[in-house]
Chains A and B, each alone.
Chain A
Amino acid sequence: NAGVMQNPRHLVRRRGQEARLRCSPMKGHSHVYWYRQLPEEGLKFMVYLQKENIIDESGMPKERFSAEFPKEGPSILRIQQVVRGDSAAYFCASSPLTGLSTTGELFFGEGSRLTVL
């Protein structure tokens, strides 16, 4: 009964490159959330996805960032043309809830730590 799986755990990119972070939710969970934790700062919501749908992307930067959760395969957070300020830990969580406004327990992955040189 695997938990939320994130990979890679650590990723190093040079400025201008692309970063792709993957998240496989727990079995049976169809709701995925991405959060970012900048160094020495708290967690911040980025995006909430269900299979093939973006439900709430109000926390995503307007440029260079995108997220998807395809019908098959993991959710992917994509950062194009990375800059040093993108260096952070990116956490994915999944939930078994069935309703948009129903609060469910969140299960977190171990995080992906992106370093931009």
Chain B
Amino acid sequence: KNEVEQSPQNLTAQEGEFITINCSYSVGISALHWLQQHPGGGIVSLFMLSSGKKKHGRLIATINIQEKHSSLHITASHPRDSAVYICAVPMNYGGSQGNLIFGKGTKLSVKP
């Protein structure tokens, strides 16, 4: 059974700063998800990745399969990036892909 650790739990940054959020997991996976939960509660899928690196606008996600570690980076952070960022991986390697185990989330607050 997989376990997911995210760090930091809380992060406060000034507008424009470069942000890094980390996620480690314990069991081999087919893919890892990064999600964003808005202050209103809605959830948006940011990335699903199984190797290397993906970029979308100011967001970059990387994964190192050997080290069982992923990072989410935000460049030129903005107050609208304030949200909870959640990492999720499959519960078991080869198990049903929707059976995810979620990190506790990183609460990001970007000050103007």
| A113 neighbours in B (Cβ, 8 Å) | 41
Q: Closest CB-CB distance, A22 to chain B, in whole Å? A: 17
| A86 close to B (CB within 8 Å) | no
Contacts A42-B102, A56-B98: A105 and B48 contacting too (C-beta < 8 A)?
Answer: yes
**Chain B count of residues within 8 A CB distance of the other chain:** 27
Q: Closest CB-CB distance, A61 to chain B, in whole Å? A: 15
Contact of A104 among B97, B101, B102 (CB under 8 A): B97
Establish whether residues A111 and B48, one from each chain, have CB atoms under 8 Å apart when the complex forms: no
A37–B105 Cα gap in the complex (Å)? 12
The A interface, classified by DSSP as helix, strand, loop or mixed, is strand
Establish whether residues A100 and B97, one from each chain, have CB atoms under 8 Å apart when the complex forms: yes
Contact of A101 among B35, B45, B86, B96 (CB under 8 A): B96
Q: CB-nearest residue of chain B relative to A91? A: B43
| A55 close to B (CB within 8 Å) | yes
| A108 close to B (CB within 8 Å) | yes
Q: CB-nearest residue of chain A relative to B33? A: A106
| B41 neighbours in A (Cβ, 8 Å) | 89, 110-111, 113
Establish whether residues B99 and A42, one from each chain, have CB atoms under 8 Å apart when the complex forms: no
A-contact 0/1 string along B18-35, CB 8 Å cutoff: 000000000000110101
Q: Closest CB-CB distance, A101 to chain B, in whole Å? A: 6
Establish whether residues A48 and B44, one from each chain, have CB atoms under 8 Å apart when the complex forms: no
| A87 close to B (CB within 8 Å) | no
Establish whether residues B98 and A108, one from each chain, have CB atoms under 8 Å apart when the complex forms: no
Establish whether residues B105 and A106, one from each chain, have CB atoms under 8 Å apart when the complex forms: no
A54–B97 Cα gap in the complex (Å)? 14
Establish whether residues B30 and A101, one from each chain, have CB atoms under 8 Å apart when the complex forms: yes
Q: Closest CB-CB distance, B40 to chain A, in whole Å? A: 8
| A104 neighbours in B (Cβ, 8 Å) | 48, 97
Q: Closest CB-CB distance, B30 to chain A, in whole Å? A: 5
Q: CB-nearest residue of chain B relative to A44? A: B102
A-B contact pairs, 12 of them (CB 8 A): A35-B100, A42-B86, A42-B103, A45-B91, A45-B98, A45-B101, A56-B98, A95-B97, A100-B97, A106-B33, A108-B35, A110-B42
